[in-house]
């Protein structure tokens, strides 16, 4: 009987198809530690004199000793009030209740991810949750040995509630609009980080198959909420 051969052929075709859309990322994750300075409020307009360079969107290379001397990008750092910085994330439907750290951009230009697999962080180069625009929160799906806080992120469905507590105590409630999965080499940067007319949230983690040679997953899972 031939069907087994046909099945093998099919399987091979699918595997090829799956691999064709991926890349082998050069960098090793997690690459750099969390940035610790973004909580410092910087107001572009109101306090120009009191604004030492804050790495809002332009973080240091991997070792952090020289953070204060990092040049500020054109246009200056985003003005974020200290009270707006998110400190806690709760997603009951995915069993998530974690404190939040701040994340910037890694030395290679990619999103900085938590050095500790069990930590979850907010991208401080974008709007804080509750402000107009897309707040981005990233966490690991797993560590090298087991599940991480965003392990069940992919199970979320439209309508599920996401709560974020800010430093000023305000709780911002979002509802999931949808869950999408993208190959990392086809990551929709503009869709995830680009301008949004109202408060929005994106939760990022990994998904798809794991590339043992690079030590990374091939896909990202993005939860859109607003």
Partner 1 sequence: MEPISDPRGLRRTARPASLAAAVLTAVLLVLLTATGARAATVPGDAWVRAGHLVPGLQAMDVTATPAGGGTTVDLALGAGYGDVAPYQRLAPGAYTAEVRPAGAARTSAPVLSSTFTAEAGKAYTLAGLGSLQAPRLATLQDDLTPPPAGQVRVRVLPAASAAPAVTVTARNGPVIADGAAFGQPTAYASVPAGQWVLETAAAGLPAATATVDLAAGGVYTLVVVDAGGALGVRAVTDAAGAAAMPVGGAQTGGGGTATATSVTGTRPEFAPVVAGAALLLLAAALVRRRVHGRTA
Per CB under 8 A, contacts with partner 1 among 107-146 are: 108-113, 117, 123, 125-127, 131-134, 136, 138-146
Q: Are strands 133-139 and 96-103 parallel, antiparallel or unpaired?
A: unpaired
| Burial grade of 52 (CB within 10 A; 0-12, 13-18, 19 or more) | exposed
Q: Which two tokens stand for residue 226?
A: 């607003």
Report the nearest approach of partner 1 to the CB of residue 96 (Å).
14
Report the nearest approach of partner 1 to the CB of residue 36 (Å).
18
| Identity of the residue, 14 or 170, whose beta carbon is nearer to partner 1 in the bound complex | 14
- Residues 120, 94: Cα–Cα separation, whole Å: 14
Residue with tokens 């625009």: 133
Report the nearest approach of partner 1 to the CB of residue 198 (Å).
5
| Identity of the residue, 66 or 190, whose beta carbon is nearer to partner 1 in the bound complex | 190
Residue 165 touches partner 1, criterion: CB under 8 A: no
**Among residues 89, 91, 96, 148, the one that binds partner 1 under rule CB under 8 A:** 148
- Three-state SS string over 2-58 comes to CHHHHHHHHHHHHHHHHHHCCCCCCCCCCCCCCCCCCCCCCCCCCCHHHCCCCCCCC
- Residues 135, 125: Cα–Cα separation, whole Å: 9
Task: Please give the residues from 192 up to 221 whose contact with partner 1 meets the rule CB under 8 A.
Answer: 193-198, 204-210, 212, 215-217, 219-221
Task: Please give the residues from 170 up to 189 whose contact with partner 1 meets the rule CB under 8 A.
Answer: 177-178, 180-189
Helix (H, G, I), strand (E, B) or coil at 190: helix
Q: Which two tokens stand for residue 170?
A: 């305000």
Neighbours of 144 (CB within 10 A): 7
Report the nearest approach of partner 1 to the CB of residue 220 (Å).
4
Mark residues 16-55: x for contact with partner 1 by CB under 8 A, - for none: -xx-xx---x-xxxxx------------xx----------
**Among residues 82, 147, 163, 165, the one that binds partner 1 under rule CB under 8 A:** 147
């Amino acid at each position: 009987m031939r069907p087994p051969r046909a099945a093998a052929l099919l399987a091979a075709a699918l595997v090829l198809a799956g691999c064709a859309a991926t890349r082998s990322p050069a960098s090793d994750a997690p690459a750099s530690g969390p940035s610790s300075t973004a909580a410092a409020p910087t107001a572009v307009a109101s306090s120009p004199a009191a604004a030492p360079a804050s790495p809002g969107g332009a973080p240091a290379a991997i070792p952090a000793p020289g953070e204060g001397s990092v040049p500020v990008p054109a246009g200056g750092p985003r003005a974020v009030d200290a009270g707006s910085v998110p400190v806690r994330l709760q997603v009951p439907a995915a069993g998530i209740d974690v404190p939040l750290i701040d994340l910037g951009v890694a030395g290679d230009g990619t999103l900085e991810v938590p050095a500790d697999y069990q930590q979850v962080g907010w991208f401080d180069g974008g709007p804080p949750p509750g402000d107009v625009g897309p707040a981005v929160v990233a966490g690991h799906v797993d560590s090298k040995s087991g599940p991480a806080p965003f392990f069940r992120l992919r199970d979320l469905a439209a309508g599920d509630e996401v709560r974020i507590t800010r430093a000023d105590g305000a709780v911002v409630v979002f509802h999931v609009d949808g869950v999408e999965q993208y190959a990392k080499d086809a990551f929709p940067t503009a869709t995830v980080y680009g301008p949004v007319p109202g408060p929005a949230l994106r939760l990022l983690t990994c998904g798809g198959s794991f590339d043992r040679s690079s030590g990374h997953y091939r896909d990202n899972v993005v939860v859109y909420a607003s």
